[in-house]
């Protein structure tokens, strides 16, 4: 397209010497007003002009000429001049235009020529959401892509899965390629940046590498889904590829755009926790039942108490966000530029969390010679994150829920208060949020320089040098704290600087030509990249005061230094051939041969093939008759191989890490080596159908796929007796190798319709559904191998069994509670059934305990009765966007949702456990098993340890036998809070994700002020979520707490996504 344009511009310049015969003037406009820069050409000649800023033109033509009005994005019109002197034209938008050219990796293609499965997202869709990170915009917008936000923290990451989870690797995220440069992450976990476990122990954290990219610079994203499309990325393409294209300048006068936005975010949902009155009543009730020992006089009369502290209100706040972007673009026919600068500041809805980003970008293109084009893209970004640990059993959400309402935020002196009771510290979540500092500052300079040479016609050689240089500084500071009940008199600080250098060089030659009905292209290329990283850290304790946070101020005896460095590299060769016969049959073949430094000499190289075939049956003669209804139809078939090498460097050997002891320095083997480790391979079949009805008013795309990953790269899952489990720095890491197979199959429907499109009113609708099923086909080893994922530390919550979907929740099935002694005696025997028949409410099973199901019917309830209790993956996800335009108004409503997924409400485990007086509970425990005496008059004298009816199992029954909430018990001998169906909830939801109402000021009004365009809009994000889920938010992605990375959908206090109300304005002048 660009070349066409350039050719045209050159043509235009050639038309200097002409003889005038007939002058025609007129005005060209579109629905919004005057159309600027529209080319008006006398057909069949080089004679042409372009319209001015008011849309006016004047051209002199020969008699009988025909004028051709054309402009990018509009349907071309031809008008015979005849005797007219004035010709006004209203251009209509070309709906096919947006689909015309898409980036496919190492080149572009016409969308209609694509044989593979990919999906485009244009600027409009990105703009429709108020987002900090581009990955957030993928949610519900692209069929086959599931995007789940890991956290509602500002600038946080999303778990993106293209066509399901296809690898066990923690890094199942797609490959991001920005203007041809592979995006460098710098890490997924807090530990990668030097924050240790401050953000949890998981393989993923809420830190997002993509948050360094300014979404406003992006013009389009292509998500390559099937292997025939991704295979060109070979070894890096197994998880899908997202190609991001940034804005470039267009020839013409400089245009300036200002975009500004102001937003307010808040948490609209609170969990229904007990307030002080509820808590006092609960406490007293438990005293009466002999569960808690000591009465508390303060609680004696709950009715005189207030509501106490609502800790949720204390840690959540109404947060402000504002962002500004200014850009300039323009250029001559030879040189075009796009320059932008942006700043954003986003407060988190949890106090103390904050995200700031500053970025600048310059994109330049220069046509130096007819045969030589050069270009440059450079972007610099600087981000500052104030991070908080929201989830986990040490996170702010957890503490805000469990801290009792009888503790004030501040004591009478205005200091933070806290309370320690029987060894249980309530660490004042507000103090925790405000005092401990966890900061991450990042800088990133990325870009590329390219040269495009056309030595002969039809042949283009492109050379590109890309780079990504980034650095980060992570700071943890733990100040001296005096919370009354808890004190830290020695402060501690740790700081780490990371540097990453990445460069990539690629060269590829493309030849394309057409001979009659045959057109073809062939591309051959080479690529090389290297990535180097290093870090240096320092830590000290005992800084003289908390005023200056500098590691070197601490006690030098306590100083610790850390350092490390390493590198990775890849070398590749690739080719792609396409063939098009008569615009009816399309054929694509790609091959890539990759070598990765992650593998040992034996298995370093691997090749990946793919084929795709498409049949545009609507261009067949026999289809002519149907064309009035189906104006376009294409059937696609693709097969391809891709790979995955994401295992980290040197997994084929065994590195030694240092571990000091009192005997001096020590070195420990980090893992068991596996020399034969090799590529993870994936194969995918795809069948797709594209149909357009009624002059493209209705467009339907359906794709079905089957993909299978083999030789899956992962740490081997071994039983604990192999010494490979537990604390990562003490266990012996299991060997990494090729241990499993997974299949994913599914289909995707996109229905894109334009029911109404008149010049004053239009309605566009886009509906998409994605269905995916995955299954673990096998794990190396015996048939009973499985993958185990953990909740907080070492409690098994997810098990992936062979023949079943990944990450199924795993636990016991709850049947109810034991209603009476007889009920216990007549049921299968739980573990704490007393062998000697002597029941004791403190250390044997008791009335009111949970009755678990005896799955294997052996009459005993034990660990073998655990089973699959639900899948965290949805049956389908969907998104529906409706855009309405009426004159200068536009309204967009975007709904998205997920159906059939389960969420493990891990928080509820503590919030309903009723085994301590010192953790606040959900109000829903009001339906707990109420124990009452069968015979209230029975007298006890202390024999057999029986002092009251509640010690006598034969005299206890449950007053509300239908309940599924157990009795309160501080000893919990029956383990009522083990992982069970009690905590597995339906996570289906329908969310009103975005509503945007915009108004564009009429151009007639703006012209006088020389302003081209002004649009004001307001947007509400996450307005409402329809769900049965009882936690904050059913959207829960990968776990940030599980060190194995083998859990999904576990809500361990996830930072909930806020509701965002924003107001924005956009000027172009």
Partner 1 sequence: MNMKNMYKGFAIIAAVLAVVSCEKFLERPTEDGYNVDNFYKNDLQCEQGVNYLYNSPWYDFQRGFIKIGEVMSGNMYWGDSPYLSFTTNGTDVDLVNMSYSLWAVNGHANTVIHNIQNAKGPSEAAKRKYIGEALVWKAFAYFFMVRTFGAVPIIHDNSELLSSGGYNSVKKVDREGVYEYIIYTIETAMNMLPKQTSGWNQRIDYYGAEALLAKVYLTKAGLSGQLSNDDLTKAAQYAKDVIDHSGRTLTPVFSDVFRLAPSVYNATGESLISWQWTVTGEQWTRQNTLQSDLAMVGFDENGDVWGGWGGPSVDLQEAFGVKPTDDPALRIAEKDTRRKATMMMPGDVYDYFWTDKGGFDFLRFIYDKDDYGAGGPGGHMQCQTGANNVKHLYGDNADHKAAVGVPAARMANQLPTHLIRLSDVYLMYAEAKFLTNGADEALLYVNKVRERAGADQLDAITYDDIWKERRLELAGEGDRWYDYVRRSYYDMQYCIDELKSQHRSTYYGLDDLYMGYYETEVWNKKHQLDNVGYPGINVDNPNVTASSFQLPFPTEDVVFNGNMASDAVPEHVENIREAYPYNF
Window 644-663: residues binding partner 1 (CB under 8 A): 649-650, 653-663
- Which one of 15, 27, 862, 1007 is in contact with partner 1 (CB under 8 A)? 862
Tokens of 876: 């389908």
Rounded CA gap, 872 and 9, in Å? 56
Per CB under 8 A, 571 contacts partner 1: yes
Phi, psi angles (nearest 5°) of residue 895:
-115, 145
DSSP state for residue 1010 in the 8-state scheme: T
Indicate which single residue of 20, 626, 694, 838 sits in contact with partner 1 (rule: CB under 8 A).
838
By CB under 8 A, is residue 389 in contact with partner 1?
no
| Residue 17, burial from CB neighbour count under 10 angstroms (0-12, 13-18, 19+) | exposed
Determine the interface stretch with partner 1 among 229-237, 244-252, 420-428, 685-693 (rule: CB under 8 A): 420-428
Closest CB 665 distance from partner 1, rounded Å: 6
* Contact pick of 16, 83, 545, 730 for partner 1 (by CB under 8 A): 730
Q: Which stretch binds partner 1 (CB under 8 A): 179-187, 281-289, 741-749, 858-866?
A: 858-866
Contact call for residues 743 and 707 (beta carbons, < 8 A): yes
Q: What track of x and - describes contact with partner 1 for positions 367 through 386 (by CB under 8 A)?
A: -x---x-x------------
The 3-state DSSP class for residue 865 equals helix
Residue 465 binds partner 1, judged by CB under 8 A: yes
Q: Write down the H helix ranges in 777-935.
A: 821-825, 906-911
Q: What is the DSSP letter of 169?
A: S
Contact positions with partner 1 (CB under 8 A) in 444-463: 449, 451, 453, 463
Q: How far is the CB of 963 from partner 1 (least distance, A)?
A: 23
Q: Binding partner 1 by CB under 8 A: which of 486, 623, 706, 1069? A: 486
Q: Which of residues 745-804 bind partner 1 (CB under 8 A)?
A: 781-782, 784-786, 788, 793-796, 799
Question: Rounded to the nearest whole angstrom, what is the least distance from the CB of residue 867 to partner 1 in the complex?
Answer: 11
Region binding partner 1 by CB under 8 A among candidate stretches 113-121, 312-320, 667-675, 688-696 = 667-675
Other beta carbons less than 10 A from residue 268's beta carbon = 14
The answer to whether 287 contacts partner 1 (rule: CB under 8 A) is no
Structure tokens at 559: 């100083």
Nearer Cβ to partner 1, position 84 or 597?
A: 597
Q: How far is the CB of 594 from partner 1 (least distance, A)?
A: 10
Q: How many residues bind partner 1 (CB under 8 A)?
A: 126
- Looking at 95-103, 566-574, 635-643, 1027-1035, which segment touches partner 1 (CB under 8 A)? 566-574
Minimum Å distance from CB 422 to partner 1? Answer: 5
Q: How many angstroms from the chain centroid is the CA of residue 867?
A: 30
Q: Which long-range contacts (CB under 8 A, 24 or more apart) does 750-758 make?
A: 750/119, 750/143, 750/699, 750/700, 750/701, 750/702, 751/698, 751/699, 751/700, 752/698, 752/699, 752/700, 752/701, 753/697, 753/698, 753/699, 754/95, 754/696, 754/697, 754/698, 755/697, 757/95, 757/697
- Specify the residue, 917 or 1014, whose C-beta has the smaller distance to partner 1: 917
Q: From the CB of 671, what's the least distance to partner 1, in Å? A: 10
Residue 47: both structure tokens together:
């004679």
Is 514 a binding residue for partner 1 by CB under 8 A? The answer is: no
Q: Does 549 bind partner 1 (CB under 8 A)?
A: no
One of 252, 341, 834, 900 touching partner 1 (CB under 8 A): 834
The answer for residues whose C-beta is within 8 angstroms of residue 1049's C-beta and 6 or more apart is 807, 809, 872, 873, 901, 902, 903, 904, 987, 1036, 1037
Our finding on whether 715 is near partner 1 (CB under 8 A) is no
CB of 843 to partner 1, least distance (A): 4
By CB under 8 A, residue 831 contacts partner 1: yes
Q: Smallest distance, Å, CB 787 to partner 1?
A: 9
CB 103 within 8 A of CB 122: no
List the one residue out of 97, 93, 61 whose CA is nearest residue 79. Answer: 61
End-to-end CA gap in the chain: 26
Cα→Cα distances 103→10, 232, 294, Å: 25, 12, 71
- DSSP SS3 for 435: helix
Q: Which of 326, 536, 731, 777 binds partner 1 (CB under 8 A)?
A: 731
Residues 281 and 279: their CA atoms lie apart, in Å, by 5
CA-based nearest residue to 395, from 480, 489, 318, 315: 315
Region 798-817 residues binding partner 1, contact defined as CB under 8 A: 799, 810
Q: Which is nearer to partner 1, 41 or 404 (CB)?
A: 404
* Residues 976-1015 close enough to bind partner 1 by CB under 8 A: 978
For partner 1, which is the closer residue by CB, 270 or 560? 560
- Residue 13 lies near partner 1 (rule: CB under 8 A): no
DSSP secondary structure of 274-333: --HHHHHHHHHHHHHTTSS-S--GGGS-GGGS-----HHHHHB--EEEEEEEEEEEEE-S
Residue 298 CB, nearest approach to partner 1 (Å) = 16
Residues 798, 1050: contact at Cβ < 8 Å?
yes
Closest CA to 915 of 68, 167, 291, 132: 291
Binding mask 515-544 for partner 1 (x = CB under 8 A): -----------x-x-x---x--x-x-xx--
**293 lies in the site for partner 1, by CB under 8 A:** yes
Structure token digits, residue 870? 């639900």
Please pick, from the candidates 414, 664, 803, 936, the single residue that binds partner 1 as defined by CB under 8 A: 664
Binding to partner 1 (CB under 8 A) within 581-640 occurs at 595-597, 601, 604
Q: Does 296 bind partner 1 (CB under 8 A)?
A: no
Q: Looking at 18, 264, 360, 366, which residue binds partner 1 (CB under 8 A)?
A: 366
Does residue 73 bind partner 1 (CB under 8 A)?
A: no
Task: Pick between residue 471 and residue 595 the one whose CB is nearest to partner 1.
Answer: 595
Using CB under 8 A as the binding rule, whether residue 562 contacts partner 1 is answered as yes
669 binds partner 1 (CB under 8 A): yes
Segment 425 to 444, residues that bind partner 1, using CB under 8 A:
425
- Cβ 541 to partner 1 shortest distance, Å: 6
Among 916, 924, 954, 1007, binds partner 1 (CB under 8 A): 916
CA distance 109 to 329: 25
């Amino acid at each position: 397209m660009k070349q066409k344009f350039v050719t045209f511009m050159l043509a235009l310049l050639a038309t200097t010497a002409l003889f005038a015969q007939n002058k025609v003037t007129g005005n060209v406009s579109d629905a919004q007003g005057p159309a600027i820069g529209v080319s008006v050409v006398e057909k069949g000649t080089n004679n042409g002009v372009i319209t001015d800023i008011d849309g006016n033109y004047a051209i002199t033509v020969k008699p009988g000429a025909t004028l051709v009005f054309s402009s990018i994005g509009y349907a071309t019109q031809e008008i015979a001049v005849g005797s007219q002197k004035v010709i006004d034209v209203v251009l209509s938008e070309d709906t096919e235009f947006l689909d015309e050219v898409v980036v496919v990796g190492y080149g572009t293609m016409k969308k209609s020529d694509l044989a593979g499965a990919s999906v485009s997202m244009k600027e409009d869709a990105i703009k429709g959401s108020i987002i900090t990170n581009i990955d957030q915009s993928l949610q519900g917008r692209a069929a086959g892509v599931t995007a789940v936000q890991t956290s509602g923290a500002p600038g946080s990451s999303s778990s993106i899965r293209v066509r399901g989870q296809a690898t066990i690797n923690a890094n199942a995220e797609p490959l991001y390629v920005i203007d041809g440069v592979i995006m460098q992450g710098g890490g997924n976990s807090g530990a990668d940046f030097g924050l240790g476990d401050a953000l949890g122990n998981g393989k993923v954290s809420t830190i997002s590498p993509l948050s360094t990219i300014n979404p406003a610079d992006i013009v389009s994203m292509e998500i390559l889904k099937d292997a025939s499309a991704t295979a060109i990325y070979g070894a890096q393409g197994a998880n899908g590829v997202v190609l991001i294209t940034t804005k470039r300048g267009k020839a013409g006068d400089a245009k300036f755009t200002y975009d500004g936005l102001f937003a307010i975010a808040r948490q609209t949902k609170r969990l229904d926790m007990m307030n002080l009155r509820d808590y006092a009543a609960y406490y007293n009730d438990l005293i009466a039942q002999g569960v808690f020992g000591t009465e508390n006089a303060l609680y004696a009369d709950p009715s005189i108490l207030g509501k106490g502290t609502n800790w949720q209100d204390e840690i959540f706040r109404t947060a402000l966000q504002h962002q500004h972007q200014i850009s300039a673009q323009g250029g001559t026919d030879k040189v075009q530029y796009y320059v932008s600068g942006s700043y954003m500041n986003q407060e988190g809805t949890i106090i103390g969390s904050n995200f700031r980003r500053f970025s600048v970008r310059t994109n330049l293109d220069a046509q130096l010679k007819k045969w030589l084009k050069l270009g440059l893209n450079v972007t610099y970004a600087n981000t500052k994150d104030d991070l908080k640990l929201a989830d986990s059993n040490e996170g702010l959400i957890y503490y805000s829920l469990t801290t009792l309402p009888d503790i004030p935020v501040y004591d009478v002196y205005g200091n933070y208060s806290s309370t320690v009771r029987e060894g249980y510290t309530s660490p004042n979540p507000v103090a925790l949020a405000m005092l401990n500092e966890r900061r991450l500052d990042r800088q990133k300079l990325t870009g590329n320089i390219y040269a495009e040479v056309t030595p002969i016609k039809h042949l283009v050689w492109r050379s590109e040098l890309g780079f990504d240089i980034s650095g980060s500084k992570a700071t943890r500071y733990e100040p001296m704290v005096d919370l009354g009940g808890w004190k830290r008199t020695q402060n501690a600080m740790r700081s780490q600087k990371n540097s990453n250098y990445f460069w990539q060089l690629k060269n590829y030659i493309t030849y394309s030509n057409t001979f009659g009905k045959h057109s073809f292209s062939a591309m051959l290329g080479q690529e090389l990249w290297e990535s180097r990283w290093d870090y240096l850290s320092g830590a000290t304790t005992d800084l003289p005061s908390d005023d200056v946070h500098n590691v070197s101020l601490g006690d030098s005896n306590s100083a610790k230094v850390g350092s490390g460095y390493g590198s990775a590299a890849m070398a590749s060769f690739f080719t792609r051939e396409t063939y098009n016969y008569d615009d009816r049959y399309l054929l694509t073949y790609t091959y890539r041969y990759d070598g990765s430094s992650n593998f040992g000499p034996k298995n370093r190289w691997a090749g990946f093939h793919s084929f795709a075939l498409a049949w545009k049956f609507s261009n067949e003669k026999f289809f002519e008759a149907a064309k009035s209804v189906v104006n376009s139809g294409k059937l696609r078939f693709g097969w391809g191989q891709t790979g995955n090498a994401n295992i980290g460097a040197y997994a084929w050997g065994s590195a030694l890490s240092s571990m000091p002891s009192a005997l001096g320095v020590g070195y420990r083997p980090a893992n068991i080596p596996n020399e034969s480790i090799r590529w993870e391979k994936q194969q995918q079949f795809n069948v797709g159908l594209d149909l357009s009805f009624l002059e493209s008013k209705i467009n339907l795309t359906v794709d079905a796929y089957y993909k299978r990953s083999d030789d899956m790269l992962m740490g081997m899952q071994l039983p604990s007796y192999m010494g490979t489990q537990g604390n990562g720095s003490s266990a012996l890491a299991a060997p990494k190798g090729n241990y499993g197979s997974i299949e994913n199959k599914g289909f995707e429907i996109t229905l894109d319709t334009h029911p109404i499109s008149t010049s004053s009113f239009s309605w566009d609708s886009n509906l998409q559904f994605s269905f995916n099923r995955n299954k673990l086909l096998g794990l190396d080893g015996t048939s009973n191998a499985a993958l185990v994922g953990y909740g907080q530390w070492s409690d098994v919550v997810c098990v992936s069994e062979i023949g079943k979907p990944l990450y199924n929740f795993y636990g016991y099935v709850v049947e109810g509670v034991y209603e009476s002694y007889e009920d216990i005696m007549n049921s299968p025997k739980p573990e704490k059934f007393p062998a000697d028949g002597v029941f004791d409410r403190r250390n044997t099973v008791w009335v009111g305990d949970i009755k678990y199901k005896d799955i294997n019917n052996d009459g005993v309830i034990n660990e073998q009765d655990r089973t699959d209790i639900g899948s965290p993956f949805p049956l389908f996800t969907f998104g529906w966007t409706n855009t309405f335009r009426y004159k200068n108004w536009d309204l967009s409503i975007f709904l998205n949702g997920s159906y059939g997924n389960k969420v493990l409400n891990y928080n509820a485990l503590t919030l309903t456990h009723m085994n301590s007086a010192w953790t606040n509970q959900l109000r829903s425990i009001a339906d707990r098993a109420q124990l009452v005496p069968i015979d209230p008059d029975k007298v006890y004298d202390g024999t057999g340890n029986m002092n009251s009816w509640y010690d006598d199992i034969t005299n206890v029954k449950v007053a509300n036998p239908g309940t599924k909430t157990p009795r309160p018990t501080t000893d919990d001998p029956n383990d009522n809070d083990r992982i069970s169906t009690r905590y597995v909830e339906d996570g289906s939801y329908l969310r009103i994700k975005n509503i945007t109402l915009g108004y564009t000021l009429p151009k007639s009004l703006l012209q006088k002020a020389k302003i081209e365009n002004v649009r004001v809009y307001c947007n509400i994000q996450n307005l409402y979520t329809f769900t049965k889920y009882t936690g904050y938010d059913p959207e829960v992605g990968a776990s940030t707490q599980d060190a194995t990375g083998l859990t999904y959908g576990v809500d361990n206090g996830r930072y909930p996504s806020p509701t965002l109300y924003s107001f924005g304005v956009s000027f172009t002048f």
